[in-house]
Amino acid sequence: MSSSLTLRGVQLLPLWRRRIPKYPIYWKGDPQIRVFLPQFWMKMLKPDYDLPKNQVHFEVHPQMSDFDIKNYLEKIYKVPVLSVKTEIIRGADIKHKTKGFFQAREPEKRLPYLVLGEGQEFKFPDLFGEKLPPTMKDMKDAEKIKIDMKRDHQQTWERAPVPPWFRF
Amino acid sequence: MAALASILKTAITSFSKRPTSTQQLCNITNHLSALRLSSCSSSVTILSHQPWHTSPVSSFHTTTCQKFHMTKSTNDLMEFFDRKEFWAESSVPTGRPYRIDELRIKSNQDIHKLWYVLLKERNMLLTMEAEFNRNNELFPNPERIAKVEESMENILEVVKERNDAVSLLETGKPADPGGAYVRDFLGRVVWRKFQEYGIPPHMNKVYRLCYPRGFKRLHLKYLPLWREKIAKHRWGRYHGELRHNQALVKKFPHLEGKLEVPKPEEPKIY
């Protein structure tokens, strides 16, 4: 975090959680206001149910409008968008761990449901379709180690209480 | 500069000793270029084709070119995902964030392009993180997000500096209007951050509500009362601590004379 001039409280938040800075006031006759460094983010989510091929689900910065979402994809990702519908979901309640009373609420989410433009198709990829996920790999390794240890124990069960350094 | 000189020296000695292969020269040029792009394993950066690895060329001018990263020219929604070879990996090798000194010597155009590279990278990382979490898997190298964000913040800082410099040249004032300690309608001295308004203050009803007309002589009597309130609060805390210490001394007699409570400061009210 290099920007030492920002407020301390704001500084603790990551950039993508922070508010978007205000647009400057437009005065009549000025050139059109343009955003050169947009700070919006979008992340693609796997839909819970089967969708037509030309629809995608996202989660975006809560300050993004429908026009922003459309422009973002068309200008930066060069993906034509037919329509945008957004839904704002209230954050889940955070309760006290032991006493269970309401403490705080998670931030709200803005979920846009997009229909892509003509000729656009997208299928959400399966990350672990062919390969094993990393945790499963670790589990396999652990099983192997377990078998090795078992074999070691079977071979040296007489000297088991003695540390391996003393064995011959 | 000393490090650069040492690198140069090693480069020169290696030249003089024996005819170096193109691979070594390539390494040297890599060392020399402090400004090369960080070697992140993103979907947007791929290594270009390197002919010098396979066919050694003896001429010198071919060795001046170095490894460079190129943006893949796919404009697709698959840019929201990492490269396919890193999908089921438990760790992903990454570089370091851009430092502010590196960005200061870049042109506005380059910085503008870099911003969009970083923006896409961050979107990709956020998407991958969400997908890993959905699959109950650990997201590999989550510090990548922080690294990208640090680069982005450094870019914002550099742009701010440049904007400020232009504003100082043109108007003699910094671009940010800043703030000042001003007296509010009750006479308290408070910090107020200035900002641009579309309507001048004497016509702006919202502004009038937020910041009522200036301090009046009528409200002068409230200032000492406020001061008294603050002092009372502080003295109350002081006596509370004294009482607490007395109780401690009663319980642990060896603390007698060792516990000190500083007397409260006078409230500063102007």
Task: Give me the pLDDT at residue B185, please.
Answer: 84
* A135 three-state secondary structure: helix
| Percent of chain A with pLDDT strictly greater than 70 | 92
Residues 41-80 of B with CB under 8 A from A: 75-80
**In angstroms, what separates the C-alpha of A3 from chain B's closest C-alpha?**
6
- Higher pLDDT, residue B199 or B44: B199
DSSP A6: S
Q: Is the pTM of this model over 0.90?
A: no
Q: Which of A37, A41, A133 lies at the smallest CB-CB distance from B122?
A: A41
Q: What is the pLDDT of residues A108-136, one digit of tens each?
A: 999 999 999 998 999 999 999 888 888 88
* pLDDT of amino acid A36: 94
CB contacts, 8 Å: A128 with chain B: 87-88, 135, 137
Nearest to B196 among A14, A24, A46 (CB): A24
Question: Is the CB of A43 less than 8 angstroms away from the CB of B80?
Answer: yes
pLDDT digits (tens, 9 = 90+) for B207-252: 989 888 778 888 888 889 999 999 999 999 999 999 999 999 999 9
The pLDDT score that the predictor gives to residue B43 is: 39
Q: What is the DSSP string of B31-56?
A: HH-TTPPP----SSEEEPP-GGGTS-
pLDDT band (50, 70, 90) for residue B50: very low
Chain A residue with minimum CA distance to B124: A43
CA dist B126 and A40 (Å) reads 12
A132 neighbourhood in chain B, CB within 8 Å? 88
pLDDT of A25 strictly over 80: yes
B174 CA to chain A: closest CA distance, Å? 14
pLDDT band at B64; cut points 50, 70, 90:
low
pLDDT averaged over chain A?
Answer: 89
* Residues B66-76 pLDDT 10s: 666 665 556 68
User: Which tens digit of pLDDT belongs to each residue from B182-193?
Assistant: 888 888 888 988
Q: What is the pLDDT of residues B156-181, one digit of tens each?
A: 999 999 999 999 999 999 998 999 99
